[in-house]
Structure 1
Amino acid sequence: MNFTDQLKKQIFLQAQRIVPQHQLSRVVGKVAASENPIVKNIAIQAFKTKYQIDLSIAQQQNALAYKSFNEFFTRSLQSGVRAVDADAKSIVSPADGMISQLGKIVDGEVFQAKGQHFSVDQLIADPQLAAPFQQGQFATVYLSPKDYHRVHMPFSGRLTETLYVPGELFSVNQVTAENVPGLFARNERMVCLFDTEIGRMAVVLVGAMIVAGIETVATGKVKPTGRLELQKHALELNKGDELGRFYLGSTAIVLFEPNTMQWDDAFKAESTVNMGERMGALL
């Protein structure tokens, strides 16, 4: 990395620490939710152009037909565009995106990036709920701005708890993953916990800078309260069913108990994935 690139990285990281993260995200959230035609059309067109959004796979292909930027951002896809792997033993990607990291959880520590780890206890924010995953398996899937932003079930199970965890709102990308200690365990997040035929499973929806909200099928859109909020559920969801969505994007982390499943060798850090694509299988 040359001096100019290094300087840009340091300025970006410093800005992450001094910008009013939550206030900025609330302002962006109001704009993203606006149904004013001028506001939402400008926002949609600018975003579509910048990130070269492919609407050919969307259910609604006319960008200006969406009622708000949020509706555009969380757009549904055409039926059949994302096939969910039908093998009863397969584990599938919960989202379109890129694998940030995946592998074994070693001594309760999840690998974030070179030189960076965070603990399962920190991520789930409840030692009792985190206990089953201490020596298990994890996969972190990053959703870039251009991606489809609904999160789906990687495996069938019964949703038993959701835990809202307040936190910071650092941007989520390769630079912050490599330089912000415990990034995913520091940002605001929604922990979803399941009983499955192979034991406990968790899907953690991690917020980020200017993410205007997280929503799940069990809780609706999350209203940040600044405190831990645990809710009990008994909701059966099949592999591939929609679990939640991001209003602006971030990251989904999947956790399994030890000795229950394994990731396919073809997948590693920076591999691209589509929702429903097989990533692993039961042992």
Structure 2
Amino acid sequence: MKFSKIKYIERKTGEILTEKVPGEKYLKFLYYNPLGELPLNLVVKKKFLTEFYGKKMSLPESCKKIVPFIEEAEINISEAKKKVEEFTSFNDFFYRELKVGARKIDYSEDVLVSPADGKILAYENIKDKDKFFVKGDKFSLEEFFRDKELAKKYEDGVFVIIRLAPVDYHRFHFPADGNISESKLIDGWYYSVSTHAVKQNFRIFCENKREYSILKTEKFGDIAMFEVGATMVGGITQTYKANSFVNKGEEKGYFYFGGSTCILVFEKGKIQIDRDLLENTQKGIETKVYMGERIGVSNL
């Protein structure tokens, strides 16, 4: 597949924009150059590199990276609870909390909202993923869940990917009211989850470290919520109380430094994803959404 810049639709305006990707030249080498395969498999995907860099971003001296990053990425830091000088490390800035009201949450009971800021791809059936990604990738829900019964439960269901770029707000939230289970860890590698990488190999979602929990809801059935780690994502922290009732918009957890992904899997027939998101996905382009923004409605 030929390398090309990442284009996405800014949902609020309908504009087609080009994403600024930190380290894009390295991603191009690793995933689109045959010579990149060796360092990718020997070093980049391994845990030690991500852990090393994650720890480095938690040191006080990493604060010097904050202002240049804000300026380059054009981040609206006025949304953050803390002022720039109050952050104790780059990671402290990276998983920053936002001020109350910084994200408008649609509380309509039949509405499903995005759990995070990011760029979304939505499939009414996971089998439709070949319309966007390289055909022939062997992806299966059984391997994704590593659970045959859950794979059967969500067979032919809706599959939603929200990709968080390094410039995004990196806390994730609940998309609906419901009862949330404990989080289950599935260990794995640390491939990049950038569109550059995933277009080459959709199986990254089966191979990377990930955690999932089940949100039992009245309006949308049982939602499988996945958080997927990636290159330079030093960790996934769950901040919610397991086996409790949670409200739409409440925080579930956060990612450490790096790009990462939230995935929602729905049982067949329980949810109707908004038409514009489905149509954009069918055209092979992601849509920028924000935490709390409507992405679908109940079919129940």
Relative to the length of structure 2, the TM-score reads 0.80
Q: 1:274 & 1:186 partners in 2: Cα distance?
A: 27
Corresponding residue SS for 2:182: strand
Unmatched runs of 5 consecutive residues or more in structure 1: 220-232
Residue range with higher mean Cα deviation, 117-126 or 146-155: 117-126
Deviation at 1:131, TM superposition (A): 2.9
Corresponding residue SS for 2:139: strand
Q: 2:264 & 2:39 partners in 1: Cα distance?
A: 29
Q: Is contact 2:122–2:273 with CA below 8 Å preserved after alignment?
A: no
**1:274 corresponds to which residue?**
290
Q: Is contact 1:73–1:247 with CA below 8 Å preserved after alignment?
A: yes
Corresponding residue SS for 1:118: coil
Verify: 1:173 aligned to 2:160, yes or no: no
**1:251 corresponds to which residue?**
261
Q: 1:172 & 1:31 partners in 2: Cα distance?
A: 21
**1:225 corresponds to which residue?**
none
Corresponding residue SS for 2:50: helix
Pick closer, same or farther for the CA change 1:32–1:7 going to 2, 3 Å: closer
Verify: 1:31 aligned to 2:56, yes or no: yes
Corresponding residue SS for 1:192: strand
User: Structure 1: which amino acid aligns with 2:134?
Assistant: K
**1:152 corresponds to which residue?**
173
Verify: 1:78 aligned to 2:78, yes or no: no
Verify: 1:235 aligned to 2:260, yes or no: no
Verify: 1:217 aligned to 2:239, yes or no: yes
- Per-residue Cα deviation, 1:20-79 (whole angstroms, up to 9, x for no partner): 521111111111222x2xx1222323432332322022122x323111211100111121
Q: 2:67 & 2:42 partners in 1: Cα distance?
A: 30
- Per-residue Cα deviation, 1:63-110 (whole angstroms, up to 9, x for no partner): 23111211100111121121111210011111101014433234xx86
Q: 2:275 & 2:173 partners in 1: Cα distance?
A: 22
Runs of 4+ in 1 over 4 A off after TM superposition: 11-14, 109-112
Verify: 1:261 aligned to 2:271, yes or no: yes
Residue 55 (structure 1) aligned to one of 65, 77, 82: 77
Deviation at 1:145, TM superposition (A): 0.8
**2:226 corresponds to which residue?**
204
Unmatched runs of 5 consecutive residues or more in structure 2: 5-24
Relative to the length of structure 1, the TM-score reads 0.85
Count the aligned residue pairs. 263
Q: 2:147 & 2:88 partners in 1: Cα distance?
A: 39
**2:65 corresponds to which residue?**
43
**1:113 corresponds to which residue?**
133
Q: Is contact 1:133–1:258 with CA below 8 Å preserved after alignment?
A: yes
Higher strand share: 1
Q: 1:143 & 1:195 partners in 2: Cα distance?
A: 24
Corresponding residue SS for 2:181: strand
Q: Is contact 2:191–2:208 with CA below 8 Å preserved after alignment?
A: yes
Corresponding residue SS for 2:243: strand
Deviation at 1:13, TM superposition (A): 5.2
RMSD (Å) for aligned C-alpha atoms: 2.4
Q: Is contact 1:158–1:236 with CA below 8 Å preserved after alignment?
A: yes
Deviation at 1:237, TM superposition (A): 1.1
Q: 1:281 & 1:258 partners in 2: Cα distance?
A: 14
- Per-residue Cα deviation, 1:215-241 (whole angstroms, up to 9, x for no partner): 11247xxxxxxxxxxxxx411111111
Q: Is contact 1:264–1:280 with CA below 8 Å preserved after alignment?
A: yes
